[in-house]
Amino acid sequence: MTGSRTSSYKLSKAGTAVQNLNRLTIGENPRINEKAIVGSEPLRSVSDLSVTIGNNLIALAGAIIYRGVKIGNDAALGHYAIVREENIIGDSFRLWSNSIVDYGCVIGNRVKIHSGCYVAQYTVIEDDVFLAPGVIIGNDPHPGCEFSTECIKKSGVTIRQGAQIGINCTILPGVTIGKKALIGAGSVVTEDVPAEKIVVGNPAKILKSIYEAKCTNGLTEKPYLRVKR
Ligand SMILES: CC(C)(COP(=O)(O)OP(=O)(O)OC[C@H]1O[C@@H](n2cnc3c(N)ncnc32)[C@H](O)[C@@H]1OP(=O)(O)O)[C@@H](O)C(=O)NCCC(=O)NCCS
């Protein structure tokens, strides 16, 4: 977030639909497509409507960043990637096309969220996490319950540092996925996952340690041997 400054010149020169330029602080060298929006007005009432974004933001056509958001340096948003209000996001963030980060999340550095993902409100994602295409994260154990609005605040998912979530996984409310865990493709995660384990299936169960996985293409003997323990 260092080197940030308030800038309207570069943004308007880039032709972007940047709304409410007061309380917008953005770093050097933004590349914002004319059909992207930075500073979209939330429907919810939000106490801090400021937007603070670091250097080198890339926002492709259709990307939308709401007000009340902090994002670090070197973020890139694909087409129709949406960051809702009250999100705090670190450096080198990637959010590819048709993915949504709903409001109230905290996301670390170097987090990559691929296409077609949904990250529910109050999710915490630590550094170096990867979400493959089609990952869906929930937060409401009993949708439609009269206490849902309060309940989701207590049921956000936590994904610890370096965890990798495979294609098309569903992560149920309240679950914590441990450090460097690997969630196999198509899994439904219903309970906490221990650190450094591979889980698969519906409901997801432990298959093995990540250190036991073998490379399928002969590039290395074991893919996670060099992961720092
Ligand atoms: C989970 C995973 C890492 C396991 O790979 P692996 O260590 O090479 O394990 P194997 O292929 O030897 O499979 C071991 C067993 O688990 C089963 N299995 C593997 N992946 C599974 C999955 N996603 N769901 C259910 N079962 C699975 C296999 O069928 C096999 O069962 P068996 O012993 O009864 O025959 C891998 O299958 C996977 O899902 N990788 C994620 C891919 C992905 O989403 N990439 C994202 C970017 S595209």
| pLDDT tens, position by position, 151-202 | 999 999 999 999 999 999 999 999 999 999 999 999 999 999 999 999 999 9
Report which ligand 1 atom has the smallest distance to the Cα of 182. Answer: 3
Domain range for 51: 1-104
Catalytic one of 142, 153, 154, 222: 142
Residue 111 lies in a domain: no
Catalytic-residue membership of 142: yes
Contact 3, 54 (CB under 8 A): yes
For residues 43 and 84, state if they share a domain. Answer: yes
Average pLDDT across the chain, whole number: 90
Q: Are residues 40 and 100 in the same domain?
A: yes
The answer on 74 and 154 residing in a single domain is no
Question: Residue 54: which CATH number?
Answer: 2.160.10
Which H or E run includes 112?
A: strand 112-113
Q: What count of other Cβ atoms lies within 10 Å of the Cβ of residue 53?
A: 26
Domain shared by 127 and 229, yes or no = yes
The answer to the question of residue 9 being in a domain is yes
Last residue of a domain, one of 76, 104, 132: 104
pLDDT above 90 as % of the chain: 83
Determine the atom of ligand 1 nearest the C-alpha atom of 186.
23
Query: pLDDT per residue over 38-83, tens digit each?
Result: 999 999 999 999 999 999 999 999 999 999 999 999 999 999 999 9
Last residue of a domain, one of 104, 137, 164: 104
Where does the pLDDT of residue 229 fall: very low under 50, low under 70, confident under 90, or very high at 90 and above?
A: low
Residue 223 contacts by C-beta under 8 Å, 6 or more apart in sequence? Answer: 213, 214, 215
Whichever domain contains 176, its CATH number is 2.160.10.10
pLDDT value of residue 224: 85
Judgement on whether residues 8 and 68 belong to the same structural domain of the protein: yes
3-state secondary structure of 58: strand
* pTM of structure: 0.92
- CA–centroid distance, 211 to ligand 1, in Å, is 14
pLDDT of residue 34: 87
The torsion angles phi and psi of 56, rounded to 5 degrees, stand at 65, 30
In a domain, residue 109? The reply is no
